Amino acid sequence: MFLTKSLVCLAILAIANAQFNTNYAAGRSGMVHLFEWKWDDIAAECENFLGPKGYAGIQVSPVNENAVKDGRPWWERYQPISYKLTTRSGNEQQFASMVRRCNNVGVRTYVDVVFNHMSADGGTYGTGGSTASPSTKSYPAHQHVPEKLPRLYRLPGDRQRSVQHQLFEWKWDDIAAECENFLGPKGYAGIQVSPVNENAVKDGRPWWERYQPISYKLTTRSGNEQQFASMVRRCNNVGVRTYVDVVFNHMSADGGTYGTGGSTASPSTKSYPAVPFSSLDFNPTCGISNYNDANQVRNCELVGLRDLNQGNSYVRDKVVEFLDHLIDLGVAGFRVDAAKHMWPADLGVIYGRLKNLNTGHGFASGSKAYIVQEVIDMGGEAISKSEYTGLGAVTEFRHSDSIGKCFRGKDKLTYMSNWGTGWGFAASDRSLVFVDNHDNQRGHGAGGADVLTYKVPKQYKMASAFMLAHPFGTPRVMSSFSFDDTDQGPPTTDGQNIASPTFNSDKSCGGGWVCEHRWRQIYNMVAFRNAAADAALQNWWSNGSNQVAFSRGNRAFVAFNNDNYDLNSSLQTGLPGGTYCDVISGEKSGSSCTGKSVTVGSDGRANINISSSAADGVVAIHVNAKL
């Protein structure tokens, strides 16, 4: 006992002594407080002044993520959101580099650390993109935020897939067959499906009725729960993951009194007995008229849709129950509709409670759902996508707007040399990118007249090819039904029941279905992206206008001509010498090409010709299309 007490006393004494040792380098004894400097600037100051002048150490401002406050006062640094090392001074890599560079010249670093408290009310989002709810003492950044979002596209044999596909308003049985007959064999990685839960039946059966929930029963015009579960399993069996468009910001608006599963509701009194939800589960009734008021955007009703209160513990329970049920059925993730209209801290709590993915469907143990949030952020509003990127990916509408402008000729293709965050996009692993989606192809959402759709086929195929060839983001291909009226629902057999697509000999669709995913120029670029894998973008070339080309390492090469004159140049492809099939004009068939071929010399160069009048303004080759 005496020995034990002695050792404890010695340990305490050692700790006490350690706390008073400054650890200065020999011969130095002065510390400077560099208040609010950036890490890169401190590193340079250590090397250029502090070290040579004999300073012993620097005290730096708090290094961990803090709440972003109006006016950006100095004291926001003392309101922590998380312990991620991201502040206005820089990120973790910059901080680590600073510490090492200062140590190398004899200047030690002393960090101002804050762990007495977290942020106060109003400190809801942070310098690293995390969110919090100080009013409920919820700081979820360490509960669920992944360093990188899960990539669920690795298949046996390390085949890589990386393209999602939105099968808008298809029936579950038809999707299952499409996975087996086309999507799996063509290398698609995943499908985004329309909302799976019971929705209000609206006059004329418009497409948007799917976004007016009545309950969380899995019964819609696309099919019932058994058909959905079968579809998910059949698609998983051929390597195609399912991502569900989920709607839990709101329930149906007035007039949505009965649903596709036979349930009833009274939106006017906020009563949805099939869940059940009552008026206690909703925010007060108010409309959104000012998008520069974040409270209004998140607490009021979007176009009259009854606005659920995700801060309510019971609402959270019902949402988690719904999403967990889908995870049990084998889905890989979710597109969260109207995420912008929900508080990030509330979403963080919901996401953090979700189950791991179902290992019975081929997911690795511990895998988490891929989450992409619908956040329309074109700038100039109170709500920013950066408030959500700490929680998951976002739908990057700026990509849709910008790629439309470029291929419509409003911006030059040569400007795309820094395509990505240089254009104001979120980080690559936080960006779901697309040319169009079900909203903005109809003029809703963002992009307006600049959005490219199937109705402008040449430019649409070119923009899709660029998106699929470029390594930025997680791409999603649209698959539409044709429409003239922007409210028009999918093709039906009788005005009520969705019709199945028909298929033509060239693999395209009929029966009112557009099926962009079956266009040769698009599905062959999915194969291009899979062949390119993780290879970096190299060998960028431009004529200074609207002719560009680049390679993906030594695995793939693509060229574009959006000028009104021919492209005819010798370009560096990065590929090994040989003859390759152009996968835009045709494809490899045995030992020949059904379209054009491209000969690459031993130096990696090839003569690339694209006429301004060509049906397709693209040439693309890759290692799997080599003869």
Q: What CATH number did the domain enclosing 260 receive?
A: 3.20.20.80
Give yes or no: residues 112 and 55 share one domain: yes
> Do 264 and 168 share a structural domain?
yes
Is residue 136 predicted with pLDDT exceeding 90?
no
> DSSP per residue over 307-362, as a string?
BB-TTSHHHHHHHHHHHHHHHHTT--EEEETTGGGS-HHHHHHHHHHPPPP-GGGT
Residue 142 predicted with pLDDT over 90: no
- Examine the residue annotation and report whether 147 is marked as an active-site residue of this protein: no
Task: For residue 45, give its domain range.
Answer: 31-136
Give the pLDDT of residue 155.
37
CATH assignment of the domain containing 79: 3.30.750.90
What is the distance between the alpha carbons of residues 167 and 222, in angstroms, rounded to a whole number? 11
- CB-based contact 575:610 (threshold 8 Å): no
| pLDDT of 506 strictly over 70 | yes
Pair 369, 505 in one domain: yes
24: pLDDT strictly greater than 80: yes
Kindly indicate the confidence band of residue 159, based on its pLDDT and cuts at 50, 70 and 90. very low
Please state the domain count of the chain: 3
CB 467 within 8 A of CB 407: no
Residues 268-326 have pLDDT tens digits of 999 999 999 999 999 999 999 999 999 999 999 999 999 999 999 999 999 999 999 99
Would the pLDDT of 50 be above 80?
yes
Q: Is residue 169 part of a domain?
A: yes
In a domain, 410, yes or no: no
Is residue 498 located within the same domain as residue 618?
no
CA–CA gap between residue 469 and residue 529 (Å, rounded) = 6
How sure is the predictor about 221, in pLDDT bands with cuts at 50, 70 and 90?
A: very high
Asked whether residue 389 falls in the same domain as residue 298, the answer is yes
Is it the case that residue 485 has pLDDT exceeding 50? yes
CATH code assigned at 566: 2.60.40.1180
The answer to whether residues 265 and 333 belong to one domain is: yes
Q: Where is pLDDT greater, at 7 or 51?
A: 51
Residue 420: is its pLDDT beyond 60? yes
Residue 114: pLDDT band with limits 50, 70, 90:
very high
Residue 205: count other Cβ atoms within 10 Å of its Cβ: 18
Question: Is residue 91 domain-resident?
Answer: yes
The closest alpha carbon to 561, from 521, 615, 513, belongs to: 615
pLDDT mean over 44-64: 94
* Same domain flag for 284 and 205: yes
Rounded to whole angstroms, how far apart are CA atoms 472 and 418? 10
Please check the confidence at residue 2 and state whether its pLDDT lies above 50: no
pLDDT band at 143 (very low <50, low <70, confident <90, very high): very low
Q: Which is the catalytic residue, given 307, 337, 346, 516?
A: 337
Residue 423 placed within a domain: no
CA distance 4 to 18: 21
Residues 191 and 302 in one domain: yes
Residues 64 and 176 placed together within one structural domain of the fold: no
Residues 575 and 542 in one domain: yes
Q: What is the mean pLDDT of residues 221-226?
A: 98
- Annotated active-site residue 337? The verdict is yes
Assess if residue 567 is contained within a domain.
Answer: yes
pTM of the model: 0.78
- Torsion angle in degrees (nearest 10) through CA of 267, 271, 276, 279: 110
- Rg (C-alpha) for the chain, rounded Å, is 28
Q: Indicate if 354 and 223 belong to the same structural domain.
A: yes
Q: Mean pLDDT across the chain, nearest whole number?
A: 92
Cα separation, 422 vs 440, in Å, equals: 23
Looking at the structure, do residues 183 and 52 belong to the same domain, yes or no?
no
Give 149's pLDDT tier (boundaries 50, 70, 90).
Answer: low
Type of residue numbered 195: P
